[in-house]
Amino acid sequence: MNNVLRGARMLPIKALIEYTFKRDVEQYAKHYTTAYNCSTEFPDRMWKLFHAREIRAQQHRVYPYSARHQRFMVETNLQTSDETGGSPYTVEFQNKPCSCGKWQIYRFPCSHAIAVCHNLRQDPKLTADARFYTETYHAQYNNQYFPVPHKEDWMYADWRLIGDLSKITILRVSSRSGCTFFNVFALRMSKKETVKMTTVSPLVPLGTLIGRELRHGNVEKPTVNYGQAALAKKGEDYFLIKPDCQRIPGNPSTSFSVFAIFDGHNGISAAIFAKDNLLNNILSAIPHGCDREEWLQALPRALVAGFVKTDIEFQQKGNKLYPLFFSKKLLLSVLAFFIFKELTGETSGTTVTFVVIDGWTITVASVGDSRCILDTQTGVVSLLTVDHRLEENVEERERVTASGGEVGRLNIFGGNAVGPLRCWPGGLCLSRSIGDTDVGEFIVPIPHVKQVKVSNRGGRLIIASDGIWDALSSETAANCCRGLPAELAAKHVVKEALRSRGLKDDTTCVVVDIIPYGYPAIPQTPKKKLNLLTSLIMGKRFNNSLNKEPNKLSAVGAVEELFEEGSAMLAERLGKDFPINSNSGIFRCAVCQGNEAPIEELSGTIFSASSGPMLCPKCRRKKDAMEGKRASVPTTLMI
């Protein structure tokens, strides 16, 4: 870039812009070709450097000093020709510093670090920073330029920028003439024009101009970029990516995006069923003909109805298949039921993290221990989900025991209790999921729902299964991929989790970037440097704000919280205002959306607005079971 600007010196402003733009396009096309012709793990220059250092590392001697802290002394080979080498270097492999300084400064392994990698039998290429990989090189030049259109095709701006004349600098043209640039400019203007120029209207702040555009709806929707990566251990993780959904079919202006992760357990049946049916069940619970604001307001309630309906349908799926699977003789055997369950996978369950993005509004619904975090441009990482692990969630433990379940650790033959807290019967570590028909109804499918609105600077969502979060904290996951494109970021998060903990569970990650319209990537906000006194004051204010409002998002000006609810009571989540046809007296079930005629003897219990939402008999039985009002046993065994 310096060479491009150096060649544009002393050019008129129009020629300077044209020259720099053309040169920039040429350089970009050159690097694009170089990047995609590269077949090694690093670009050519870095690959040659790595290969040279690897050859030198073969002559180094490595002495371990501390296996616990991975501290080594590396001694280089003494050169008899010029008496160089033979110097000792200290390598802290765990923290990645070397006493030579190259590793921590350039974030690329020096020959001493490579020698230690060989000693530990690890791949030294994994110690390089992500910026040096060929994948990053590809992603950096993955965008494209477009020719500048004719000025007649430019968008018309209904506002203009007015310069502040008080900021004009007086520059001398010549020391002999004593004439200034402003004087020369003023001499060529008439007196009337000069007076008009000095009495301009007050300046309009840029924030006011942006506010006018927002009120008139002139700001474009953000661009949504995404990437996903996964490593399978048991093969029970599934994900859903639908970036082109539409509230009104055929109308692109009503588009929204859906991203979800399904982490199955005890089989894959529940995860696959939820992936195939959950979105349709959610959309069917939203009233037709509503505008965008009404649609977003109805979405949290529709998410609850969709989750519960999917769980009911999955249980019914097992009930319908069971009589067809066995003969009448086998139906008399209780053992046949459990064999059927194992063969069909109907005892399986799944966690769900379901994300809906409409413009700048993000709505997240979750059951289980998969997680979704939001990384904004202020550097604050916000958690948009709640983990429903019994080990960590006291409220869920109290709810399960109040509903008739038991919570405890695994105890084999009267020995010491081991492992995480589980609910019995079933032995599940989670308090909420979809499926799990072999455990009590106190394992509910009612999701925690949170709806936020990000600023027009955008943000990044990281949606991942527990294989990621058991290895990385939310801040670590956000920091390790910050600045990378979405596709490469997802791969890097999975690689970082693998490096930290190894492959002990299925690891799936989906990264979604919400980018302002017209930007190729999320614009980075430079951090201000703070002196010691300022940093102490800011740190104190930040801690005080966390103590006062622990549940609020702390990224002021970046995220606005619109809605949050996590109650497991279905009546609280669905409300009472569901449609009724006044002419026919037909009610619509709040969960399955089925039309039901009121029954005379049941009108006071099933369709009473005072007792909660309007529910059909099937969904009412599910609600009562989840609240512990009837025996919470598997209902699929019919003998």
Q: What is the mean pLDDT of residues 514-523?
A: 74
Please tell me the distance from the alpha carbon of residue 74 to that of residue 100, in angstroms, as a whole number.
11
Helix (H) or strand (E) holding 306: helix 292-325
Residue-wise pLDDT tens digits, 314-338: 988 765 544 444 444 444 444 444 4
Which range (15-19, 349-353, 514-518, 533-537) has the least confidence? 533-537
435 DSSP β-pair partners: 349
pLDDT for 620 equals 82
| Maximal C-alpha separation, the chain | 116
Q: Which pTM value belongs to this model?
A: 0.61
- Contact yes or no for 52/114 (Cβ under 8 A): no
pLDDT for 332 equals 43
Please tell me the distance from the alpha carbon of residue 432 to that of residue 572, in angstroms, as a whole number.
17
Please tell me the distance from the alpha carbon of residue 482 to that of residue 476, in angstroms, as a whole number.
10
Residue 514, pLDDT > 70, answer: yes
- Contact yes or no for 478/486 (Cβ under 8 A): no
Structure tokens, 169: 């600098």
| CA distance to 158, 253, 255, 360, 514, per residue, from 221 (Å) | 20, 9, 10, 8, 10
CATH 3.30.930.10 fits 223-325+345-409+419-521+557-562, yes or no: no
Please tell me the distance from the alpha carbon of residue 54 to that of residue 48, in angstroms, as a whole number.
10
Return the amino acid letter for 384.
L
In the numeric block, the tokens 């499918």 are attached to 445
Helix (H) or strand (E) holding 62: strand 61-66
pLDDT for 76 equals 87
Report the SS3 class of residue 310.
Answer: helix
**Relative orientation angle of helices 292-325 and 334-344, to the nearest 10 degrees:** 130
Q: What is the mean pLDDT of residues 26-30?
A: 83
Non-local CB neighbours of 281 within 8 Å, separated by 6+ positions: 305, 306, 307, 309, 310, 313
What is the DSSP annotation of 29-47?
HHHHHHHHT--SSS-HHHH
> Residue 635: which pLDDT band, with cuts at 50, 70 and 90?
very low
Residue 209, pLDDT > 70, answer: no
Residue 382, pLDDT > 50, answer: yes
pLDDT for 228 equals 94
> Residue 190: which pLDDT band, with cuts at 50, 70 and 90?
very low
Q: What percent of the chain is modeled with pLDDT above 70?
A: 68
pLDDT for 154 equals 65
Please tell me the distance from the alpha carbon of residue 91 to that of residue 64, in angstroms, as a whole number.
10
Residue-wise pLDDT tens digits, 470-496: 999 999 999 999 889 999 999 999 999
Residue 365, pLDDT > 90, answer: yes
Please tell me the distance from the alpha carbon of residue 91 to that of residue 492, in angstroms, as a whole number.
25
Residue 404, pLDDT > 90, answer: no
Residue 376, pLDDT > 80, answer: yes
Nearest to 111, CA basis, from 46, 48, 56: 56
Domain boundaries, the chain: 38-141, 223-325+345-409+419-521+557-562
What is the DSSP annotation of 537-568?
HHHHHHHHHHHH-TTS---TTTEEEEEEE---
Residue-wise pLDDT tens digits, 138-166: 888 777 777 777 766 666 555 666 666 66
Residue-wise pLDDT tens digits, 257-266: 999 999 999 8
Is 528 exposed, middle or buried (CB count within 10 Å of its CB: 0-12, 13-18, 19+)?
exposed
Residue 411, pLDDT > 60, answer: yes
Q: What is the mean pLDDT of residues 618-633?
A: 70
In the numeric block, the tokens 């949050």 are attached to 564
Nearest to 375, CA basis, from 464, 448, 481, 467: 481
Residue-wise pLDDT tens digits, 94-106: 878 898 888 888 8
Residue 435, pLDDT > 60, answer: yes
